Structures are given as structure tokens and as C-alpha cells.
Amino acid sequence: MLTRLTDWSIRLDRFIDLYRNRPFVWGENDCCLFAMNCVEEVTGQDLADPYRGYKNQKEALRLLNRCGGVAGIADAVAEKHNIPEIPPANARRGDVCLFDIGRGDTLGIRAGEFIYAPGYRGLIEFPILQALRAWRIG
């Protein structure tokens, strides 16, 4: 089970502000790494370490195929770290959400009334009602 740092809220806000205008880049600022980097800000633990190292779309798709897609990675991380899955409606600030924007599964982080995930021009806000799955972080 993960524990939230005492200053997690400030750290998460700062991280989201820092990434607000950063574009989507495979292996740097894609949906999986963005969500896991947010979790690291909230908990101080890097859950994405086993998945880091890919540099482009081709390598990312190879990793996704090997791991069962975005949902497969989320499930593997949740199982390894005893992160409970919760109903999406119960997701709170700092929780990870999975949703589909028409191009397949996407991971994002709940912050305020929205789920944030990287897009090609910076972070995009998605309504929490789009969440299909969610995991309680701390």
C-alpha cells in the first residue's frame, strides 16, 4: 500500500503546472509516464521504473503489446504495489484513472474536477465521467 507524502498536494499542483504546456512525447511525457510521475509526486515512489527506457512510438508500442496494453501496465503496477481499484466515481485528487478517448486506453491523474493527461499541445482536461477504471493512491 502506498502512502501519500505530507506535502503531496503542493507537489502534485506544482508538477501539473510544470507539465501544463509540455507536449506528449513517447518515453518522456506519454500517458503512462505522466500518471506514474504524478504518483511519484504524491508518494515519493517511482512505480514506472521497470517500464522506463523506451524512446519512441515503436518501442512504446512494443512495450504495450508485451504488457497487455495500458490497462495491463496499470493492473501489473497495482498488483505489485497493492494499489486498490476503486469505482471511478470515488476517485479523488491524486488517484489514477483509466479512460478511452477514442484511440484506446489512456491513463491520467485526477486533480480537481478533471482527469489530466498529456496531449500534443500540453495537458488536456477530461471529465471524471469519462473514467472507466480508477486506483486509490495512498
DSSP three-state, residue 21:
coil
Helix axes 8-19, 31-43, angle to 10 degrees: 150
Convert the pLDDT of each residue in 59-92 to its tens digit: 999 999 999 999 999 999 999 999 999 999 999 9
Distance CA 138, CA 3 (A): 4
Convert the pLDDT of each residue in 39-48 to its tens digit: 999 999 999 9
Distance CA 93, CA 95 (A): 6
Burial (CB count within 10 angstroms: exposed 0-12, middle 13-18, buried 19+), residue 95: buried
The model's confidence at residue 1, banded by pLDDT at 50, 70 and 90, is confident
Cell digits for 37?
510521475
Convert the pLDDT of each residue in 12-26 to its tens digit: 999 999 999 999 999
Domains of the chain by range and CATH? Answer: 8-135 (3.90.1720.10)
Q: How many residues does the chain have?
A: 138
The model's confidence at residue 101, banded by pLDDT at 50, 70 and 90, is confident
| 102 pLDDT above the threshold of 90 | no
Reported pTM: 0.95
Is residue 11 within 8 Å of 5, Cβ to Cβ? yes
